[in-house]
Chain A
Amino acid sequence: MSIAPGLQPESWHLLTLLDRAPGLHALADTLADLVDEGHPILAGTADLKYSNGLVRFQERHPDHYVQFGISEQHMVSTAAGLATTGWQPHVATFASFLALLACEQIRTDVAYTQLPVRLIGHHAGITLGYYGTSHHATEDLAITRSIAGLTVIAPADAAQLRSALRAATDWPGPIYFRIGRGQDPDVYDRDDRGFTIGRAIEHSVGSDLTIIATGSMVHPALSAAATLQAEGISTGVLDMHTVKPLDADAVSRAAARSGVILTVEEHSVLGGLGGAVAEVVAGHGHGARVVRHGLRDEYALIGPPSHLYRHYGLDADGIVRAARTALG
């Protein structure tokens, strides 16, 4: 895919969009590799193959690719039907249209039946900043987390997405993957410290504060922790890539060690990672205080994602400020 002749080098169009989101190559390439290795994988999308990179999968395995058109509910139900015949379908679309528009199909056809369908909600959170509220997904963790039997994974970067997709090949039930727009800075090189579904990655331990972050917020959380550490605040960081089943042991250890837990997510503070962590801390009674950082009970403004992250304090500076406030 190259820029058409005669256009300025900085110009781009739909077909070059993917080159601006290298993180999404991880999705298509990993799935295509898994097909090469003999896994019964199918991949499909609802008219977004250039947005999520599955065009690269289609090029390598046209016989394992299904184009559904703009029919998210049909896509999810069809994936469930495919799974009954021994396939492992991966269906991808914008997180807002997957978790919200096809919520009931996910719950009834995929999760209740415990079929090995992989639901890939990309451009989650506010990554589609100026596309507006319809395209923001700030409720998807709360929705999917409440669906019984559905595993929820939010990888921090491309390397972790690759690990997660591989780890999922022998996971028996359905999984909702929450990913961004493929432009997340790298947190992990090839070594993501041994990715295991349901086990948080402990980057550091802290006696004053533990930041528990998921998905796109792991990178700024690590930067924020470095700043706080330099100020003499003992700060731990947990990458909670699996929001469900939540690593309750890791949360409990953090609560026992730190007086304050700060959860950070590109999501509403209602019902997502913060809610999940608070439920564990309340249940274990370690006396830690949980402060949830994310969007409040509100719809996000329209704007470029980087501006929105700054506005909502979902960048390193914002997380530092939230931590100082939490520590009093």
Chain B
Amino acid sequence: MTVVKHDPQRDLADLIDTISERALFARLETVRLISIAKTGHYASGFSCAEILATLYYGVMRLRRGEPDWPERDRFLFGKGHAAATLYPLLADWGFFDPRELDEYTRLGNAFGDHPDMTRIPGIDFSSGSLGHALSTGTGIALGTRMRGYDSNVFVLLGDGELHEGQIWEAALGAAHHQVSNLIAIVDRNDHSLDGRIDTVTGIEPLEDKWRAFGWQAHRVDGHDVAALLALLRSVVADTARTSPVVIIADTVKGKGISYMEAEFGWHLGWLAEQDERNAIEELRRGR
């Protein structure tokens, strides 16, 4: 019998490769889905693809094919408009048949531009109206804790979403109630619909703001899978934490496609056939 020697370094490198590959898969699927709908949110999905993939493949406690397992970790997508980038990962976890995505946005199907918990297995709470998810996440985190589960609740917020007042109500409330199983991640892609965040309504200094609200705050490159994985795992491993945690993840809107990175107008759009082929090629090349 051959004994395979366990090599943690090698395992970690393999995991980082897997996560990066799943992030690419999520981007390619986003392009495919938007091509069905003929309009959608490319750039917001691309900025958070590594964050989603790291959570789903390297951090969250989930059971394949069991979207309602009560002790699972939860994920709430505050910036729900990027749902097309999340759906392929949920299908990959066996929460529904991936072929269902072929009907994306068609009349009466479950999958729209924003995630809907009443229709899609694996969506832990619906979103679309910005600013709610940190509160609903607080409720889920409190509720699971009061039930005696040690679930973590991850909430991915847009940086433009931080303009909503309810975010700061939730920031105060979660810190006051020491909801330490609540982990917010801000996708800091520096753009909202009308342009650069600092030209719309400035939000920095972000870490100072969250810390002043009683949160533990970290900052990381949101496309660096190794860094994301290490940080998220260290947060989760710190079971002695007493406050909620926020991670500011610096990202690039439209990451992976050169002309989307350069033009904020790709927040919402549709690629014609030839441009789509070029986009897919550029994504596959990894530039």
Contacts and interface: CB of A to CB of B under 8 A. Distances in A.
Nearest to A104: B129
Contact of B132 (A77, A82, A84, A86): A77
B135 interface: yes
A42 B143 CA distance: 10
A96 to B, nearest CB: 18
Contacts of A113: 117-118, 125-126
Contacts of B125: 80-81, 84, 109, 113
Interface string B134-153: 01111111111011000000
B38 interface: no
A84 B141 CA distance: 10
Interface stretch (A66-74, A137-145, A184-192, A262-270): A66-74
A112 B139 CA distance: 17
B136 A78 contact: yes
Given A69-B173, A104-B129, A114-B118, A78 B166 contact: no
B173 A84 contact: no
B236 interface: no
Contacts of B128: 108
Interface in A56-103: 63, 66, 68-69, 71, 73-74, 76-87, 89
B143 A86 contact: yes
A74 B170 contact: yes
B176 interface: yes
A105 interface: yes
Interface residues of A, number: 28
B176 to A, nearest CB: 7
A84 B124 contact: yes
Given A81-B137, A104-B129, A74 B147 contact: no
A112 B136 CA distance: 14
B172 A69 contact: yes
B132 A109 contact: yes
Contact of B118 (A69, A81, A112): A112
Interface of B: 70, 117-118, 124-126, 128-129, 131-132, 135-144, 146-147, 165-166, 169-170, 172-173, 176-177
Interface of A: 42, 63, 66, 68-69, 71, 73-74, 76-87, 89, 104-105, 108-109, 112-114
B137 A87 contact: no
25 contacts: A42-B146, A71-B173, A73-B166, A74-B135, A74-B173, A76-B135, A77-B136, A77-B166, A78-B138, A80-B136, A81-B136, A81-B137, A81-B140, A82-B142, A84-B140, A85-B70, A85-B140, A86-B147, A89-B139, A109-B126, A109-B135, A109-B136, A112-B126, A113-B118, A114-B118
Given A108-B126, A113-B118, A82 B139 contact: yes
A81 B146 contact: no
Contacts of A109: 125-126, 132, 135-136
Nearest to A107: B129
Contacts of B140: 81-82, 84-85
A241 B106 CA distance: 41
Given A69-B172, A69-B173, A113-B117, A77 B143 contact: no
A78 B176 CA distance: 14
Contact of B139 (A69, A77, A104, A114): A77
Contacts of B177: 66
A80 B169 CA distance: 15
Given A74-B166, A104-B129, 19 more contacts: A66-B142, A71-B169, A71-B170, A71-B173, A73-B131, A74-B138, A74-B170, A78-B135, A78-B142, A81-B135, A81-B137, A81-B143, A82-B142, A84-B124, A84-B125, A84-B139, A105-B166, A108-B129, A109-B136
Shortest 6 CB-CB contacts between residues of A and residues of B: A81-B139, A85-B143, A77-B135, A74-B169, A71-B169, A78-B139
B248 to A, nearest CB: 21
Max chain A C-beta neighbours (<10 A), residue from B124, B136, B142, B169: B136
B174 to A, nearest CB: 9
